[in-house]
C-alpha cells in the first residue's frame, strides 16, 4: 500500500509516530532477548518488534487505538534496552514517546487504573506530600499495623498496586525524611565548575543521604554547588507515562528556576530525571518561547557520574575493601548511554572489586511508576534481578537511580547494603567506613 504523506491513520495529527521512524524497523528480532516483558511472557505483541508492528498498523489505519493496543504499550517498561540492541538504529524511544500521549488522549483507562495513576501523580511530584505519605508509611510499620493488616488478611484483598506501594517503602528513620539539604557548597581548592544540583522529589525525601553525598563529592572535586531554591519536579514520571502537557509545564518551570543559577552544568543523581531533562528540547519543540532555551538547558544536563568522569580526580581516595555489584539503571545505560563512567568512578576507589551481574541488560522492573501500575510483571522482573545480583555474592550493591534502589531492595533475600555509587565515592574521599558515611 502506498501512503499519502501526512496520513496519520488511527492517530491524531499531533506528533503521531513518524512513518520514517517506523520504516526503520526491518523485523529482524534482535530486540527480543533484551525486552523484559518478552522475557516474562514470550508474546510477540509484548516485544519491541511487536509494539512497533502495532504502531505501524495503527499509523496505516488498519487497527484502532483501543484498550488492546493501549495494554501492549502500557506494558512496556520504557527501559530502552531494545534501542541499545537494535542493529538498524530504530529509535523506539521516540516512537514510544509519540504513541503514549496519543493513547492517553484516545483510550479511556479503567477506574482503578485512573485512581492509582491519579494518586501517584498527586503525591510523588510534591516533596511535602511525599514526606507525609512516607511518614505515614513508617508509622504504619512502627505501630505494627502492617503486621496486623497482613495477619488479618486485609492486605491480600487490596489491589496489587497498593500492596506494591506498601512493599516499596524503604526502612528509613522518620528524621531522615525531614532532613533538608544545604543550599550549596563551596568548591574545595581551585574552582573548576559551578554546577546547579537537582534535588529530586522522591529523591530528596527518601534519599537525602545520596543528595548530601553528591554535594560533598562534587565540592571535593572542585565544583561550586548551588541548589536552586523553589525547584519542583522535573516531570519525568509524567513524561514516561505519556502525560505530555503536564511534563511540558513542569519542564518550563524547572528551566525558569535553573536558568537563574547561571551554572556551567545542571547535575542530576537520578537516572530517570536526568534522561527526561536531556529531552526537554524535544518536549518543548513547539513552544516558541521555550524551544531554544529548552534545547540549551538540555545540553547542560549531566548525570553526576558523567560529570565526575569528565573531571580528572582531584580528591584523594581512601581504601574501601568491598566487592561491589554495579547494576545499570536503564535510564542511565540505555537512555543516556552512560555505562563506563560509573564503573570507572567506582574503580578509582582503592579496594573496590567490581563484579558484573548476569543479565545486566535486563530491567529490574522499577521503570518510573511501572512497579506501581503493573505490579505483576514488575515483581517477576524484580525477583529475577535480585537473584542475579545475589548470585555474584557482593558486599555492596550500587546503582544510580532512586527507582532501582527501591525496587531491588524489595526483592533481596539477604541483607546487602544498597547504595548510590556516589555514596561509595563519598565514603572513600572522607576516609570513613561506608556504613558510617551514610549516617
Partner 1 sequence: MSWSAELVEALGRENVITDPARLRTYECDGLTGYRVQPAMVVLPRSAGEVAAAVRVCARHGVPFVARGAGTGLSGGALPVADGIVISLQRLRRIMEVDPVNLRAVVEPGVTNLDISKAAAPYGLYYAPDPSSQQVCTIGGNVAENSGGAHCLKYGFTVNHVLAAEVVLADGTVTRLGGESPQLPGYDLLGAFIGSEGTLGIVTQVTVRLLAKPAAIRTMVADFATVAGAGDAVTGIIAAGIVPAAVEMLDNLAIQAVAASTESVYTPDTAAALVVELDGPPDDVAEQFDEVQEICRRNGSTKIMVAADAEHRALIWRGRKAAFAAVGRISPNYFVQDGVVPRGRLAEVLGRIAAMADDAGIRVANVFHAGDGNLHPLVLYSEGEGQHDRAEHLSTQIAELCVELGGSLSGEHGIGADKACSMPRMFGQDDLATMLRLRSAFDPDGLCNPGKVFPTPRLCGERPGPYRPHPLEEAGVIERL
The residue to which cell 514517546 is assigned:
97
The stretch near partner 1 (CB under 8 A) out of 28-36, 74-82, 187-195, 384-392 is 28-36
Backbone angles phi, psi at 265, to 5 degrees: -150, 155
Residue 222 sits at the vertex; the CA angle it makes with 216 and 224, to the nearest 5 degrees, is 70
- Tell me how far, at minimum, the Cβ of 115 lies from partner 1, in Å: 25
- Tell me how far, at minimum, the Cβ of 189 lies from partner 1, in Å: 37
Taking CB under 8 A as the criterion, the residue among 12, 26, 245, 347 binding partner 1 is 26
On the CB side of 8, CA atoms within 13 Å amount to 12
- Tell me how far, at minimum, the Cβ of 436 lies from partner 1, in Å: 38
CA 236 to chain centre: 8
- Tell me how far, at minimum, the Cβ of 19 lies from partner 1, in Å: 8
Of residues 60 and 285, the one with the C-beta less far from partner 1 = 60
Taking CB under 8 A as the criterion, the residue among 7, 12, 14, 27 binding partner 1 is 27
The three state secondary structure string of 189-254 is CCCCEEEEECCCCHHHHHCHHHHHHHHHHHHHCCEEEECCCCCCCCCHHHHHCCCHHHHHHHHHHH
Rounded to whole angstroms, the Cα distance separating 206 from 134 reads: 8
Site string for partner 1, 152-181 (x = CB under 8 A): ------------------------------
Q: Binding to partner 1 (CB under 8 A): which residues in 70-129?
A: 72, 86-90
Q: Are the C-beta atoms of 415 and 390 separated by less than 8 Å?
A: no
User: How much of the chain is in helix, strand and coil states, percent to nearest 5?
Assistant: 55, 5, 40
- Tell me how far, at minimum, the Cβ of 411 lies from partner 1, in Å: 21
Strand partners, 353: 323
The stretch near partner 1 (CB under 8 A) out of 26-34, 104-112, 133-141, 272-280 is 26-34
Site string for partner 1, 29-68 (x = CB under 8 A): xx-xx----x--xxxxx---xx--xx--x----xx--x-x
Of residues 62 and 353, the one with the C-beta less far from partner 1 = 62
Range 345-348, long-range pairs (CB < 8 A, 24+ positions) = 345/305, 345/308, 345/309, 345/421, 345/425, 346/398, 346/421, 346/424, 346/425, 348/313, 348/317, 348/425
Of residues 49 and 240, the one with the C-beta less far from partner 1 = 49
The radius of gyration of the chain from alpha carbons, rounded to an integer in Å, stands at 22
- Tell me how far, at minimum, the Cβ of 24 lies from partner 1, in Å: 6
Among candidates 217, 200, 149, 227, which has minimal Cα distance to 331?
A: 200
Handedness of CA 434, 435, 438, 439 (dihedral sign): negative
Of residues 85 and 219, the one with the C-beta less far from partner 1 = 85
Of residues 3 and 136, the one with the C-beta less far from partner 1 = 3
Of residues 32 and 432, the one with the C-beta less far from partner 1 = 32
Of residues 69 and 408, the one with the C-beta less far from partner 1 = 69
Taking CB under 8 A as the criterion, the residue among 21, 69, 270, 345 binding partner 1 is 69
Strand partners, 120: none
- Tell me how far, at minimum, the Cβ of 357 lies from partner 1, in Å: 14
- Tell me how far, at minimum, the Cβ of 108 lies from partner 1, in Å: 18
Site string for partner 1, 224-253 (x = CB under 8 A): ------------------------------
| Those residues with Cβ within 8 angstroms of residue 232's Cβ, 6 or more apart along the chain or in another chain | 125, 201, 250, 253, 254, 257
Other CB atoms closer than 10 Å to residue 235's CB: what's the count? 25
- The per-residue b/e assignment along 402-413, b for 16 or more CB within 10 angstroms, e otherwise, is bbbbbbbbbbbe
- Tell me how far, at minimum, the Cβ of 160 lies from partner 1, in Å: 16
The residue to which cell 520514517 is assigned:
20
Backbone angles phi, psi at 245, to 5 degrees: -65, -45
- Tell me how far, at minimum, the Cβ of 10 lies from partner 1, in Å: 11
Taking CB under 8 A as the criterion, the residue among 25, 364, 397, 424 binding partner 1 is 25
- Tell me how far, at minimum, the Cβ of 390 lies from partner 1, in Å: 17
Of residues 42 and 189, the one with the C-beta less far from partner 1 = 42
Of residues 83 and 389, the one with the C-beta less far from partner 1 = 83
Of residues 40 and 132, the one with the C-beta less far from partner 1 = 40
Residues that bind partner 1 (CB under 8 A): 2-3, 23-30, 32-33, 38, 41-45, 49-50, 53-54, 57, 62-63, 66, 68-69, 72, 86-90
Amino acid at each position: 500500500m502506498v501512503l499519502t504523506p501526512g496520513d496519520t491513520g488511527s492517530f491524531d495529527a499531533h506528533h503521531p509516530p513518524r512513518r520514517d521512524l517506523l520504516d526503520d524497523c526491518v523485523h529482524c528480532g534482535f530486540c527480543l532477548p533484551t525486552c523484559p516483558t518478552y522475557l516474562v511472557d514470550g508474546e510477540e505483541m509484548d516485544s519491541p518488534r511487536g509494539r512497533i508492528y502495532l504502531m505501524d498498523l495503527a499509523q496505516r489505519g488498519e487497527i484502532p487505538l483501543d484498550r488492546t493496543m493501549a495494554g501492549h504499550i502500557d506494558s512496556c517498561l520504557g527501559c530502552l534496552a531494545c534501542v541499545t540492541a537494535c542493529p538498524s538504529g530504530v529509535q523506539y524511544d521516540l516512537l514510544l514517546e509519540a504513541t503514549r500521549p496519543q493513547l492517553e488522549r484516545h483510550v479511556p483507562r479503567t477506574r482503578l487504573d485512573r485512581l492509582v495513576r491519579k494518586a501517584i501523580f498527586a503525591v510523588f511530584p510534591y516533596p511535602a506530600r511525599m514526606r507525609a505519605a512516607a511518614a505515614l508509611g513508617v508509622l504504619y510499620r512502627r505501630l505494627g499495623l502492617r503486621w496486623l493488616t497482613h495477619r488479618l488478611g486485609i492486605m491480600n484483598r487490596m489491589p496489587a498496586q497498593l500492596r506494591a506501594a506498601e512493599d516499596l517503602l524503604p526502612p528509613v528513620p522518620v528524621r531522615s525524611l525531614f532532613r533538608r539539604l544545604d543550599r550549596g557548597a563551596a568548591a574545595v581548592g581551585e574552582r573548576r565548575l559551578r554546577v546547579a544540583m537537582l534535588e529530586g522529589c522522591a529523591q530528596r525525601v527518601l534519599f537525602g543521604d545520596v543528595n548530601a553525598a553528591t554535594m560533598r563529592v562534587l565540592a571535593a572535586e572542585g565544583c561550586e554547588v548551588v541548589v536552586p531554591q523553589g525547584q519542583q519536579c522535573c516531570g519525568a514520571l509524567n513524561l514516561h507515562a505519556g502525560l505530555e502537557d503536564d511534563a511540558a509545564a513542569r519542564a518550563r518551570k524547572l528551566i525558569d528556576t535553573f536558568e537563574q543559577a547561571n551554572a556551567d552544568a545542571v547535575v542530576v543523581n537520578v537516572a530517570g530525571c536526568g534522561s527526561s531533562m536531556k529531552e526537554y528540547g524535544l518536549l518543548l519543540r513547539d513552544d516558541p518561547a521555550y524551544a531554544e532555551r529548552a534545547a540549551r538547558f538540555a545540553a547542560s544536563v549531566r548525570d553526576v557520574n558523567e560529570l565526575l568522569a569528565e573531571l580528572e580526580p582531584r580528591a584523594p581516595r581512601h581504601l574501601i575493601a568491598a566487592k561491589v555489584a554495579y547494576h545499570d539503571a536503564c535510564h542511565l545505560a540505555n537512555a543516556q548511554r552512560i555505562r563506563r563512567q560509573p564503573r570507572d568512578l567506582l574503580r578509582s576507589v582503592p579496594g573496590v572489586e567490581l563484579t558484573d551481574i548476569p543479565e545486566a541488560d535486563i530491567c529490574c522492573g522499577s521503570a518510573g511508576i511501572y512497579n506501581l501500575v503493573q505490579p505483576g510483571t514488575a515483581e517477576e522482573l524484580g525477583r529475577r534481578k535480585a537473584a542475579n545480583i545475589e548470585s555474584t555474592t557482593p558486599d555492596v550493591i550500587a546503582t544510580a537511580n532512586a527507582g532501582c534502589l527501591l525496587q531491588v531492595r524489595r526483592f533481596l533475600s539477604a541483607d546487602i547494603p544498597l547504595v548510590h555509587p556516589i555514596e561509595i565515592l563519598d565514603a572513600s574521599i572522607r576516609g570513613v567506613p561506608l556504613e558510617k558515611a551514610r549516617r
